[in-house]
Chains A and B, each alone.
Chain A
Amino acid sequence: MTFSPLTHRRIAQFKANRRGYWSLWIFGVLFFVILFAEFLANDKPLLVSYEGKLYMPILQTYPETQWGGKFQTATNYRDSYVKKLIEKKGWMLFPPVPFYISTVNFNLEEPAPSPPSRENWLGTDDQGRDVLARLIYGFRVSIFFGLILTFFSSIIGVIAGAVQGYFGGRLDLIFQRVIEIWSGLPILYLLIILSSIIEPNFWLLLGIMLLFSWMSLVAVVRAEFFRTRSLDYVRAAEALGVPTWRIMWRHMLPNAMVATLTYLPFILNGSITTLTTLDFLGFGLPPGSASLGELLTQGKNHVQSPWLGLTGFFSLAILLSLLIFIGEAIRDAFDPRKVMAR
């Protein structure tokens, strides 16, 4: 793939913003690591060697009888009886954080929520579950939710803005009024009401949020299409007989993409914050799921256990700051004044 010189200069400009550049790297690494959360924090061992054979319980469920136990049910590897059984004829290798989000640590030395210890690095929550494990999974849910929501809402937003900006006139007028009314609906209340009727899950929440979040880009893209519409090279394309959709795609969209890309990190931030808000209020993901908002609720309920609140606060603050820094760098990269001053 070859880049135009303009793209080259933009990449250079992005790199010139050291803070944003490093933020992108840190975020990238975090994102990559978190993709493999199951191998990072799990109550099943990564690898079991039993009677000379290797097993991967993390990928496959084995009954207890496999290890010479009595039950036909799935093995609880944290059970001290099972541990003994396996270690007699082999060994087990646990992930660095040997807890799953629902794993309750029954061997706490203090009543839950217990403070950070060698076993639970960030302590446990009020149900004795490991905070680090829940943080890793909660982080992943937040980022995925944000990314998917941003992706779909930008697609819808760009299309809506492009159509309005290109065709203008009555269509634009009607669409604008519809958007004004639609954006007047109180999203948070709507979600609270909906979640008291049906039990929300990840995709349902995403769908409902999508109904409202696509509007944030429309104004920018619409304005950009309005502006580009009267540019000479768009007129020239029209005079060449280039079909409308191709003009929009090839000659106008790249201009609008500058504004869109600049906005994306901020939309992503907004999506993450909304999900956290809902979880914090208890109207978000179903009970038991790990999320940053749920962690914050626990922090609020147990002020005497500062590791809960602090973990929630710092993880959220770091995630949002990273995205804002990246967003700033992208904005710099697309700033014509900075790029053009060679």
Chain B
Amino acid sequence: MTLLQVKDLSVHFRSPNNVTTKAVNNVSFSLSQGETLALVGESGSGKSVSALSILGLLPYPMAFHPTGSILFEGQELLNTPENTLRKIRGHEIGMIFQEPMTALNPLHTIEKQIAEPLLIHKGMSKLQAKERVVELMNLVGFADGISRLNAYPHQLSGGQRQRVMIAMALACEPKLLIADEPTTALDVTIQASILELISDLQKRFQMGLLLISHDLGMVAKMAQTIAVMRNGHIVEQGQTSKVLKNPQHSYTKHLIDSEPKGHPSAISRKAANILEVKDIKVTFRGQKKSWMTRGTGDVKAVENVSLSLVAGETVGIVGESGSGKSTLAYAILRLTESQGQINFCGVELQHLSRAAVRPMRPQMQIIFQDPFSSLNPRLSVGQIVAEGLEIHQKQIGKLEIENQVQSILQEVGLSPEASHRYPHEFSGGQRQRIAIARALILKPKLLILDEPTSALDRSIQAEIIALLRDLQKRYQLAYLFISHDLKVVRAMSHRILVMKAGQVVELQETEKLFTKPTSPYTKSLIKASFDLLENN
């Protein structure tokens, strides 16, 4: 039986100065009970907007629907008054959001938040609701949570928060569950268990599941049907296995092709030593409980990490969030205080003063994860890229700086005229190229890449990886590649360092690590991230 029938749906946005943006155009799909439909596409393709219009959660009247109808069990939802929709939201249709930290109210306990739909839709008493909450916590596999019903969202981990979100969405046993990138913000090992939970619950309650994702591997495992979206249109729709095996549309092919693959180019035998790090320790001083206890709250973010790097080599650092990957990078660059030896090109950095490190900085550069926050929005691209030169090479003139900026922009695949524009005029991938240009203009020997691709769409990821590999080959750059995405790390690195809770779990040649992981933690990481892929 058809549960949800979306026909010819269009969503347009109207701006104050009457410019209309067409976010979704004539999209149709349907979903029956117990079925899973995946909406796949890159950011900005309109998949979230389509899903939100089912629940009428768009910013009306700025958003409007020129055409379309959404039938849920035969009832029209589009352009329905708020009062009617409110009875359906959370009751008949549940929703799981991408970022559980921001989707939960930080000021309410988890019990109150899970119980809220029960009190509103089911008219339960507080006592009844509490019983049901306990039941739900068991259901979502968060049994330890029963003793923590009075906890606030910030006291839970990411995975626990997502379980709370699922419990909230399931509280009234909805017939349709909308999951908007339910695992994107989570670590790989947790991702797998959350997905398992969702599909398990779906089977049990015969729910329809509308899954929104950019991750083809995950979709292949979860969904029976798939709809590929691009620029607000559905370009291809059909059975998941068929579409993924035998894609018809060029864009689908492109999406499937952009899974990271390949290997870095070999290192030359005579490669010079670039970086030698020994026993790095970073401790964050915690809040003292009182003046009597001393440093009880200290957090050891990085403990005794050693690694070395030669020219042209990439060492990948993997680990879950909070494992100290980024802190290690900052410590190596002397952006965070640390203990231990940092030998960079024969110079011991640890004993140098801040001012004395400064002349060394052009040699070692960093690329950050989020290209939106790593570029100063108030400076033009030219100014951003030129800043390093202006400081470190004061003898060269304005014209020469401009020439160098132009040529480096071309090298990273941007047009030279980009230098007069501002960061917000560029897409995520282009911004990451700007960040790479800013680092490369100083001709560094070491480039630290702190999750350089995780804020980007898959197909753009592939382009950036290709660019980075190419640059490494040309300039014999040494990379320290930080990521939580094992697939990307595998495609980039010669050796991989696995970190957990600030400590090194394993440091191994890439292929050896994947074929014969020695530690159980590495095994579980590999299993979690490649399990999904194998079904492909």
Contact = CB atoms under 8 A, between A and B. Distances in A.
A251 interface: yes
Interface in A1-53: 4-6
Given A6-B377, A341-B16, A240 B388 contact: yes
A280 B438 CA distance: 59
A341 B358 contact: no
Interface string A232-257: 11011111111100100011001000
A4 B422 contact: yes
Given A4-B380, A5-B422, A342-B17, A236 B374 contact: yes
Given A5-B422, A232-B368, A237 B375 contact: no
B454 to A, nearest CB: 14
Contacts of B425: 5
Interface in B374-391: 374-380, 387-388, 391
Nearest to A254: B378
Contacts of A238: 335
Interface string A327-342: 0000000000000011
B187 interface: no
B453 to A, nearest CB: 15
Interface in A300-342: 341-342
B465 to A, nearest CB: 20
Nearest to B448: A239
B303 interface: no
B361 A6 contact: no
Given A254-B378, A341-B15, A342-B16, A240 B373 contact: no
B90 interface: no
A93 interface: no
B15 A342 contact: yes
Interface in B390-411: 391-392
A5 B80 CA distance: 39
Residue picked from A235, A246, A251, most chain B C-beta under 10 Å: A235
Interface in B423-447: 424-425, 435, 438, 442
Contacts of A341: 15-16
Interface residues of A, number: 21
A11 B379 CA distance: 18
B457 interface: no
B153 interface: no
Contact of A240 (B19, B361, B375): B361
Residue picked from A6, A231, A241, A243, most chain B C-beta under 10 Å: A241
B134 to A, nearest CB: 40
B376 A233 contact: yes
B362 interface: yes
B366 A241 contact: no
B202 interface: no
B387 A242 contact: yes
B358 A239 contact: no
A78 to B, nearest CB: 58
Interface string B356-367: 011111101110
Nearest to A239: B366
Contact of A235 (B361, B362, B368, B391): B368
B234 interface: no
Residue picked from A232, A240, A243, A254, most chain B C-beta under 10 Å: A240
B391 A243 contact: yes
A320 B246 CA distance: 72
Interface in B67-95: none
Interface in B4-28: 15-17, 19
Contacts of A231: 373
Given A231-B373, A232-B374, A251-B376, A240 B387 contact: yes
Residue picked from B358, B370, B422, most chain A C-beta under 10 Å: B358
Contacts of A254: 378
Nearest to B329: A239
B377 A237 contact: no
Interface string A187-211: 0000000000000000000000000
A154 B376 CA distance: 24
B176 interface: no
Interface residues of B, number: 37
A242 B368 CA distance: 17
B480 interface: no
B216 interface: no
Interface string A169-184: 0000000000000000
B362 A241 contact: yes
A240 B358 CA distance: 8
Contacts of A246: 391
A241 B374 contact: no
B388 A241 contact: yes
Contacts of B133: none
Contact of A241 (B361, B375, B379): B361
A242 B388 CA distance: 7
A60 to B, nearest CB: 51
Contacts of A237: 376, 387
Nearest to A5: B422
Contact of B365 (A5, A239, A251): A239
B452 to A, nearest CB: 12
A6 B330 CA distance: 32
Nearest to B357: A241
B478 interface: no
Contacts of A232: 368-370, 373-374
Residue picked from A239, A251, A342, most chain B C-beta under 10 Å: A239
Contacts of B392: 241
A250 B368 CA distance: 20
B342 interface: no
Interface in B45-84: none
B333 interface: yes
Residue picked from B376, B380, B424, B438, most chain A C-beta under 10 Å: B376
B440 to A, nearest CB: 12
A233 B374 contact: yes
A335 B117 CA distance: 34
B373 A233 contact: yes
B242 to A, nearest CB: 41
Contact of A236 (B16, B368, B377, B422): B368
A240 B377 contact: no
Given A342-B15, A342-B17, A239 B374 contact: no
A242 B360 CA distance: 12
Interface string A64-98: 00000000000000000000000000000000000
A156 B424 CA distance: 33
A231 B368 CA distance: 11
Interface in B32-56: none
Interface of A: 4-6, 231-233, 235-243, 246, 250-251, 254, 341-342
Give the 6 A-B residue pairs with the shortest CB-CB distance, closest first: A241-B361, A232-B374, A241-B358, A232-B373, A232-B368, A233-B376
Given A231-B373, A233-B375, 5 more contacts: A233-B373, A235-B330, A240-B391, A241-B358, A241-B361
30 contacts: A4-B422, A5-B424, A5-B425, A6-B424, A231-B373, A233-B375, A233-B376, A235-B366, A235-B368, A236-B366, A236-B368, A236-B374, A237-B376, A238-B335, A239-B333, A239-B361, A239-B364, A240-B362, A240-B365, A240-B387, A240-B438, A241-B358, A241-B388, A241-B391, A242-B388, A242-B391, A251-B376, A341-B15, A341-B16, A342-B17
